[in-house]
Structure 1
């Protein structure tokens, strides 16, 4: 910042200076900490972090084999700009494998899963990483991450695998990452269902995390498992009635419509009427799911015309997310070529998105917000 600009800032009311600074990118704020003591103190206040977060840009992150990509999306140019970023894991680079995945995100903090029962909290904007070793080694089915506003703490949830042939999940380990507390929570509603151990983590909508549950032979059921981060209770809730001809596992995503509710994106029957199908949930005042409605079905003919891929005979949905009111879907056609699609739910148009890197190295896509929220250091040790 030039001396002239700095002088102008000092002449402005401090409240206006704060309002201006909340719109400055994180990388510049880190440099501005040296401007004066009042700014340095301001950047340490949680109130400023929250105010800054309301103006901060949303970024995209993708994990591949020992590669981490993050970037921005330009809806005007229909282009995704990705750049490679190395996670600072010190000397233990062996943690970064094809199993590295994003468990969830809150306040710009990404909860990561590494191999060897190791987790981490990462702020890509601050380039801060703290590793998390759960206090006990458990075999677990599913994982989730979120923020509990009542305790002002971040929570990591692991749905545990009960030992023994034919046994079902009945407990979960909940770790509070600021306080260092951990406890076992009953999950009795799962006794008649199965979970699938997967690095595709639960989907958080507000203060509730959702997972899919399965019946015999890994068939999709009409139920979802939910966990309330505040009350720390598990429940089963309805999901869209699965098609008997459905292909692959549908993706749960958040924020598809104005209310930011839960949605599913999946691949329907690959006949002339099949393709990508999207459902949206209606939530009650408490955030519970009341019902579902189908909001769009993208037929094979529509996809062939829009993507320029003639005679599509196979679709695999690798990833789906929302960004700036758009549905972004990373799909593979014919078992080979990957394409990133952008679907506008308002004008019902579908567009191919260009990228700065090959889509072949893109894994599951996630979004996060650039923030100044620091990574909390757990108080407990392995």
Structure 2
């Protein structure tokens, strides 16, 4: 009796593979040409990122000092060392600008140069410099991904005496362009880091009240979102892929209108009153936990659902905790523009 062999349909194989970590997929590229080609398709990358985000959940990328990185796994809750990106010439002072859909935007300190980095594949893409790069200390940088246009973008807003200039870098085109800013701020001033959702990049603006400047990644248009009477001592974040403002005691989330209109409104969803967080510095919101630093060598995870605080100590050898970002594994490649996540 002949053995007809074992056969699985392509759809089932793809469904199995998209559940694997990137480390396994990189090894499996050598199994056969079909698998290697599959891992480069936009549909597979989209499904893999979706599964990583919604089933395994994002990891927590920690920057400890200017050249040391670690990843806190979403399942094991163990801290794993992460090799810094390999750049030429080597540098030892890097700032993390932001993380979006598997890519991390970095800035080389004292140069203003930008790098895109995939920690899972260790791929690095250098971002071209512009005429304004030397003024990087006077600019506000944001980074995000839009499903609408299937593109990663970096936006830099420069505050010059003569006015505001804006440059936008598109990974799909590999180039910068200048766009109009207009009279959006009306005298307000930027402060703090940006936050990004699937649709837009945001910055806090201080004027007569707190407002939020929004940059639509797809349309490249700026709008100003009123902050109303929200407390002044807040930090801009995202919560469940929505714009959020976090103070020491309250979490405000921007909600869509539910009465048929298109207006948005701030909703105080969580009260963070116990324990007393005086002196705690919020870094980010990771799933349903607010990540704080208090001591230089550790982080505190406060669960906004259970109101429980948990300490996670980190070795002093890693250095001071500087920043934390949500990171979702992806096999997105800089060399294959058609392999990015599609809408």
Same fold (TM over 0.5): yes
Q: Give the corresponding residue for 1:224.
A: 212
Question: Does the CA contact (< 8 Å) of 1:317 and 1:331 recur in 2?
Answer: yes
Q: Give the corresponding residue for 2:116.
A: 121
Q: Give the corresponding residue for 1:273.
A: none
In the alignment, structure 1 residue 322 sits paired with structure 2 residue 290: no
In the alignment, structure 1 residue 261 sits paired with structure 2 residue 242: yes
- SS of the residue corresponding to residue 47 of structure 2 reads helix
Question: Does the CA contact (< 8 Å) of 1:329 and 1:341 recur in 2?
Answer: yes
In the alignment, structure 1 residue 280 sits paired with structure 2 residue 280: no
Q: Give the corresponding residue for 1:308.
A: none
Q: Give the corresponding residue for 1:3.
A: none
CA distance in 1, matches of 2:39, 2:179: 37
Q: Equivalences for 1:54-65 in 2 at 5 Å? A: 54-56=50-52, 57=56, 58-65=58-65
CA distance in 1, matches of 2:289, 2:7: 45
- SS of the residue corresponding to residue 224 of structure 2 reads strand
Query: What TM-score, normalized by structure 2, do the two folds share?
Result: 0.83
CA distance in 2, matches of 1:261, 1:288: 16
- SS of the residue corresponding to residue 11 of structure 1 reads coil
Q: Give the corresponding residue for 1:374.
A: 333
CA drift of 1:129 comes to 1.0
Question: Does the CA contact (< 8 Å) of 1:170 and 1:191 recur in 2?
Answer: no
Question: Does the CA contact (< 8 Å) of 2:144 and 2:197 recur in 1?
Answer: no
1:37/1:360 CA distance change after superposition, 3 Å: closer
Question: Does the CA contact (< 8 Å) of 1:80 and 1:353 recur in 2?
Answer: no
In structure 1, the gaps of 5 or more residues are 1-6, 268-275, 305-311
In the alignment, structure 1 residue 352 sits paired with structure 2 residue 316: no
Q: Give the corresponding residue for 2:200.
A: 208
1:374/1:194 CA distance change after superposition, 3 Å: same
Query: What TM-score, normalized by structure 1, do the two folds share?
Result: 0.75
CA drift of 1:318 comes to 4.0
CA distance in 1, matches of 2:130, 2:336: 14
Give the alignment's Cα RMSD to 1 decimal.
3.0
In structure 2, the gaps of 5 or more residues are 338-343
Question: Does the CA contact (< 8 Å) of 1:146 and 1:204 recur in 2?
Answer: yes
Q: Give the corresponding residue for 1:294.
A: 268
CA distance in 2, matches of 1:362, 1:287: 43
Question: Does the CA contact (< 8 Å) of 1:117 and 1:133 recur in 2?
Answer: no
1:360/1:265 CA distance change after superposition, 3 Å: farther
- SS of the residue corresponding to residue 223 of structure 1 reads strand
CA distance in 1, matches of 2:279, 2:102: 32
